[in-house]
Structure 1
Amino acid sequence: MKKTSILAATLSPLLLASSCGSTGSGDSPPTQASPSGETGGAWDGGFVTTEHGSFAEPWAAAFVPGTAMLFVTEKAGTAKIVDTANDRVIPVTGLPEVDYGGQGGLGDVAFLPSQSASTIGRRAIYLSWAEAGEGDTRGAAVGRGELVCAASDSCRIDGLEVIWRQTPKVSGRGHYSHRLVLSPDEQHLFVASGERQKQTPAQDKQSHLGKIVRLTLDGSPAGDGAIGGALPDIWSMGHRNILGIDFDAQGQLWEVEHGPKGGDELNLVRRGQNYGWPVRSNGVNYDGSDIPDHSADDGFAKPAVSWTPVIAPGNMIFYTGDLFDGLAGDLLIAGLKTEAIVRVATDGDTARETARYDMDNRIRQIVEGPDGALWVLEDGDGGRLLELRP
């Protein structure tokens, strides 16, 4: 382990330029964030940062419930478990075949918090990935299996089977989204389904593209007729590229998504709501053509926060611990373009950015550890795993 310098907090007036384009990998190339000013909350905003190794294009991470073991996915199709107590790295087998390229590859990972034990043992695991289709097509997939760690030096996933597929499969390698979150009562799995850079399907009720879907734990549709005439698993629609999704302490579901050139959005997700893409956006198209901004009378759900210039989110979590005094209940967003952690305070159905913490690198993922420490994955090949403490 290697300790690095304290990182100071910065307030948020200086936001930076565009997030993901209409072609290519979709996440903007590195730029340096611009620090300024004060901090928010009782905690003073500084981090003591400890390095815990590096990974090949890490994309997501989750602690195995009840343990100090962090499961890390790598985009090209590999995964590792890090024993954060001693930095021992355990390879994982039994992973799916992924369609790697652009934004595609192995995606998110989720566990049932109730399956907590003092050892890893055997428990359910959910994974998402990009899956090839016929011809030059592909789409997101979600699978469920069992994580088994019978030996100290290896783990495997048994019985992994696809429980949901994004339909239709289309050309291109962008905007899969495929972020996963389990409802607080562990009765439902919510899947972020990006619009695959195709725009108009986000308004098509018979397409998964540009939607949030709700499933039972076995993958059965559970949209419960949220949108009349829509596929039975669709919960909300009119989304672009959702890269963060989580529940707050009140059980409300929030998501953060990439806008086009401007207009990144934080949304409170309500059953059956339409969030407007591509009919409405507070950004513009990459060719400079106009997209009407959200307005009070447009009939669409409005973002709680909109960013222009963008933050280019990697993921987001609501912090629940007490290690960082005053942070509990706030939302933390991994910033790719901003190379920062963006802090947002929510109050009911409203939200506002309160601080920005400069990380000097593109941040793909934030995870809260068992004792309240923050674990951060940098983006790209050689992305470091960092442990952040006050």
Structure 2
Amino acid sequence: MFEVREKPQMVERALLVRLYFDPREADESEALLEELGELVTTLGIGIAERVLAKSRSMHKKFLCGTGKAAEIVELARAHECDCIVFDNSLAPSQQREWENAADMCVIDREEVILDIFAQRAQTKEARLQVELARMQYALPRMARMWGHLDREGGGGSGGSAAARGMGEKQIEVDRRIARTRIDRAQRELEEVRKQRATQRHAREKLETPHAAIVGYTNAGKSTLLNHLSGADVLAKDMLFATLDTTTRKIELPDGQPLLLTDTVGFVRNLPHRLVEAFKATLEEAVLADFLIHVLDASSPEVQQFHDTTLEVLAELGAGDKTTITVLNKIDRVEDPDQAALLDRLFPDAIRASALSGQNLDGILSACSAVLADRVRRHHYCIPQSRADLVGLLHRDAKILSTEYEGNNILVHAVVPPSIAGRLEEFLTP
């Protein structure tokens, strides 16, 4: 894998910077800088200081003026930092200008998220998605990253010159290899998507309803899935703990089965290339029958997190899905003002705590209500000679009780529409 630059093996101290250009953006910029700190901490990098700087206008070279850039560089050196991390997106040329001025590693928010994803990806699909996003990010940044890349290769036989060909620069070789890897990752990812589609079609044949758990990163989605299904999905108090979807089958209070899928968490300013690269993962949200939107009720930015998730869902084409909103971590809300804010913003949301198990029954009941029109409880009187129909009920429905009366089998069951018609003549009042 090509790296964006030859970064130190271990970055120990970083200066975090966010530049803003409109005074009205000050509060939001401060919150984003705080979130960047959580992202950087997730990578195990120490934070020397956070700098929130206002620039009167956007400059081409450093994004800010040269005077402000000199102040930031001097501060990084004073703290003996080995990296400057920008919350703003930096163009490749701006990234190089900052590195030349500071003589140290300079990265932006997108690269931080990519590095986290690279560490956490477990399945083949997630690793391919990360590789694709990293290569697309790195490709325009290859120019002048390393001095040897500008050297031309002569002709002749053997060695790197033969690999490059007459007069071909090393940078051109690396770019060609990078494009080859991008093409290969895209092909392999398409194969993975076909496999997922096959698995999905198999689920659809069973007509089992499907819900996707969505929400901001670290809202408690994996913990909720674990408690509802008995799964063992990684659930930690950190950003992007989950990068791979996990689907588990549960049973609702009315006896109906439901497939629950945990999805990767959203984040503000999620790089567009990551939305594209992870579309195969996030398409579970697009194809689900309904969504369970989990919010961290204890966060003062709960409204911004809610809006961010809705924006990403709309971009994915899932903005009009039926949605159950869950205010998770409600047991941590002790401030009366925060409680009043939640009541005003989310009057119909379910208050729950995935960690303590508080009101998880309410979530399951809400799921049953969403799917109420898909199933009915029926009583059947089936002759023992039609044991095949009893087998059908056992396979595709939920048997609530079975009794025997003479030569008949009395069955009480929750029946999906897909098989209800075949049993209609055996219905009893």
Instruction: Name the TM-score, length of structure 2 as normaliser.
Output: 0.21
Higher relative contact order (CA 8 A, sep 6+): 1
Instruction: Name the TM-score, length of structure 1 as normaliser.
Output: 0.23
Compare CA radii of gyration and give the structure with the larger one. 2
When you count strand as a share of all residues, which structure comes out higher? 1
When you count helix as a share of all residues, which structure comes out higher? 2
